[in-house]
Structure formats: C-alpha cells, structure tokens
Amino acid sequence: MAAPITIHLEFGGGAELLFSGVKKHHMTLPSQSQPWDMKQLLVWIQQNLLKERPELFVQGDSVRPGILVLINDADWELLGELDYQLQDKDNIVFISTLHGG
C-alpha cells in the first residue's frame, strides 16, 4: 500500500474559473495499492475539484490541449506526462493559455 500523500495544486491563466475561482488547493490524496500518477490525479481532480464545464479542462484521459502542466515548476512533457508518479509535497500547476491575449 502506498501511503496518503499531500500535494499542492494551482490553477492559473483562467483555468481557476472552472474551480470556483480558487487558484491554490492543498490536497491529501488517499492511500491506494499503486502509487498515484498524473493520469489518476486528473480523474481525481475531475471527481473532487472541478466545478463546471469539464470539457474545458480535460479531453480524453489528458488535459485539454492548450492547458500547460508544470510539475515542481518543470514542464510535464519532460517528466513523462500522464505516467509521472506523484511524490509527497509535489507542486502541480495548470495554466490555461486559452484565455485572452
């Protein structure tokens, strides 16, 4: 069993509007048999945090194209994207690029 982990989530660039305007969230992910990965985190966010219009945040099993994801300030494309295994105290940032220029 993997122990519960706490993570810090942040939504910006307009993505926070889908989360009642709240940008920063401190969350504890419950323990489960496998370690948490980004794919599972996206499902968890959809079920527990996302307040409206899920199609503006997720597409298929990933984020909607145009939303940037940073894991501890680094582009998730460098870290395996959906397969990245979350560590305790990770900082995950979602920035929408789809709002206003």
78 makes contact with other proteins (CB under 8 A): yes
Q: Does 50 bind other proteins (CB under 8 A)?
A: no
Strand order in the sheet with 5-12: 24-29, 5-12, 91-96, 67-71, 74-75
Comparing CA positions, the residue from 86, 97, 99, 96 lying closest to residue 11 is 96
Q: Single out the residue of 2, 5, 8, 13 in contact with other proteins (rule: CB under 8 A).
A: 13
Could you say whether residue 95 binds other proteins (CB under 8 A)? yes
Selected from 61, 75, 83, 88, the binder of other proteins by CB under 8 A is 75
- Collapsed DSSP state (helix, strand, coil) of residue 91: strand
d(CA 33, CA 66) in angstroms, rounded, equals 32
* 38 near other proteins, rule: CB under 8 A: no
Interface residues toward other proteins, by CB under 8 A: 12-14, 17, 64-66, 68, 70, 73-75, 77-79, 93, 95-101
